[in-house]
Amino acid sequence: LFFMKPKDSRDGRDLPPSPPSLPIIGHLHLILLSTLTHKSFQRLSSKYGPLLHLRIFHVPIVLASSASVAYEIFRDQDVNVSFRHSPPIEESLFLGSYSFISAPYGDYWKFMRKLMVTKILGPQALERSRRFREDELDRFYKTLLDKAMKKESVEIVEEAAKLNNNTICKMIMGRSCSEETGEAERIRGLVTESMALTKKIFLATIFHKPLKKLGISLFKKEIMSVSRKFDELLEKILVEHEEKMEEHHQGTDMMDVLLEAYRDENAEYKITRNHIKSMFVDLFIAGTDTSSTTIQWIMAEIINHPKILERLREEIDFVVGKTRLIQETDLPNLLYLQAIIKEGLRLHPPGPLLPRTVQERCEIKGFHIPEKTILVVNSYAIMRDPDFWEDPDEFKPERFLSISRSGQEDEIRDKFLKYIPFASGRRGCPGTNLAYASVGTAVGVMVQCFDWKIEGENVNMNEAAGTMVLTMAHPLKCTPVPRTLNLLPP
């Protein structure tokens, strides 16, 4: 009975297979087997199959965990799975109804995505904002140098978060967040508070409908408090930009781009001030911790693999030399560094689970998926699948040197998608280019300019439980020792 294929009660068609469940809680006990949800899901899929139908209390979930299932989902059902569950607190700027991340696939999402790809995060826009990032990278290097001179240890994720946060601030506002007035600190604090809330929001999203009927609104107070603090800060920045626009100042930062769209009477979609503010909250949430945790994991892997570190340093010394700091424009010539970043993201994707909603009933791998089902793609399991990856749990950047540049096209032709740290399809990450640039230059500077001392033999690579972004259980702490370089002033 346990292994009988469950049927959709309405029309008797086959749902994907389902592991044994318990009354009331469904499969919750299986998901709680590990405190790391992606690992519980990985275990379930290796035991019961790559496409499963699960249930947590009354909520049905379809779990996808193989490269060929991912291919079918992102190629054949892309629009149909380009939806997320509606947000629990509509009026919040933070993952509420103004948010681009929470937006359903529709006119608003399409308008913003186009703006983002053409004017904010696309290659040409990134070229225009390159100098903002160079300034911040220089500041990052100087902070590390200062720590090195004082022989102080550095918590890598913390410094990387400051770098990414300041970079995004600068790209949004066209100026640095002021450390003196506490602006930078406030933004960092808000991002940390928001990240701590994302898991709660995910739970609230799943359970808010039945609870709302009982008059219970999960975590509303906490979510609205963060939203109000963001609102206050972003309104100030917005007004600052409007005043500059009135003085006919021609700005090039993200706020200028969105204000122009806001004032455009003929725009395809009329955005509001709340849309603008919410978009920046989205960028902070989606772009800060993801990149910082990736930098941390990659540094940990490199420190644990001295031969890889040595080879990377040789490459950087050869391509960049010892008289200037690595820059974004060097990255296309640093193939081993690129391979290291890809391998780091394969083993440690910051978003190991990709939650979507299936909008209309459809078929995947011949199984019936009812409308409005939550779909979870386990990118962690897919990128460690032993059927597709040799030594799947080993850090071996060389594997990406042998994969052709058109790796993803080959995958698509062969009808599988085995490398998806940035997801795929329409709702895939629009910040991919920025992420590769930020992670590449940060890791590059740390390897080019410093040796790293750790306490003990090896870095502990355990994953932290209870976070939405996959991060280290024991944050990497190490002491930089400056290398002998002859850096000329920029």
Q: Residue numbers of the site for ligand HEM (CB under 6 A)?
A: 100-101, 168, 282-283, 286-287, 290-291, 294, 345, 349-351, 354, 356, 421-423, 427-431, 434-435, 439
45/438 with CB nearer ligand HEM = 438
Phi and psi at 415, nearest 5°, equal 65, 45
Report the alpha-carbon distance of residue 435 to residue 459 in Å, rounded: 24
282/315 with CB nearer ligand HEM = 282
Cα separation of the two ends of the chain: 70
Fill in the DSSP letter of residue 176.
P
In the complex, the smallest distance separating the C-beta of residue 452 from ligand HEM, rounded to whole angstroms, is 21
Percentages of the chain per state (helix, strand, coil), in multiples of 5: 50, 10, 40
Name the strand (E) or helix (H) holding 255. helix 254-263
In the complex, the smallest distance separating the C-beta of residue 345 from ligand HEM, rounded to whole angstroms, is 6
17/425 with CB nearer ligand HEM = 425
In the complex, the smallest distance separating the C-beta of residue 198 from ligand HEM, rounded to whole angstroms, is 12
Tell me which residue has tokens 């769209």.
Answer: 261
101/485 with CB nearer ligand HEM = 101
CA-closest candidate to residue 474, choices 449, 445, 454: 454
In the complex, the smallest distance separating the C-beta of residue 3 from ligand HEM, rounded to whole angstroms, is 31
CB-side neighbour CA atoms (13 Å) of 210: 6
In the complex, the smallest distance separating the C-beta of residue 243 from ligand HEM, rounded to whole angstroms, is 26
Q: Which residues of 33-43 are buried (b: 16+ CB within 10 A; e: fewer)?
A: eeebbbbbbbe
At residue 197, what is the residue type?
Answer: L
In the complex, the smallest distance separating the C-beta of residue 427 from ligand HEM, rounded to whole angstroms, is 4
184/454 with CB nearer ligand HEM = 184
Report the alpha-carbon distance of residue 325 to residue 465 in Å, rounded: 36
88/421 with CB nearer ligand HEM = 421
The pair of structure tokens assigned to 51 is 């496409």
In the complex, the smallest distance separating the C-beta of residue 437 from ligand HEM, rounded to whole angstroms, is 9
48/389 with CB nearer ligand HEM = 389
Phi and psi at 386, nearest 5°, equal -65, -20
At residue 474, what is the residue type?
Answer: H
In the complex, the smallest distance separating the C-beta of residue 144 from ligand HEM, rounded to whole angstroms, is 20
Q: Which strands form 353-358's sheet, in the order they lie side by side?
A: 51-56, 59-64, 373-378, 353-358
Phi and psi at 368, nearest 5°, equal -85, 130
137/354 with CB nearer ligand HEM = 354
The pair of structure tokens assigned to 285 is 């949430």
Name the residue with the smallest CB distance to ligand HEM. 431
Gyration radius of the chain over CA positions: 23
- Find residue 22's DSSP bridge partners: 26
90/310 with CB nearer ligand HEM = 90
Give the length of the chain.
490
CA-closest candidate to residue 277, choices 102, 109, 98: 98
In the complex, the smallest distance separating the C-beta of residue 376 from ligand HEM, rounded to whole angstroms, is 10
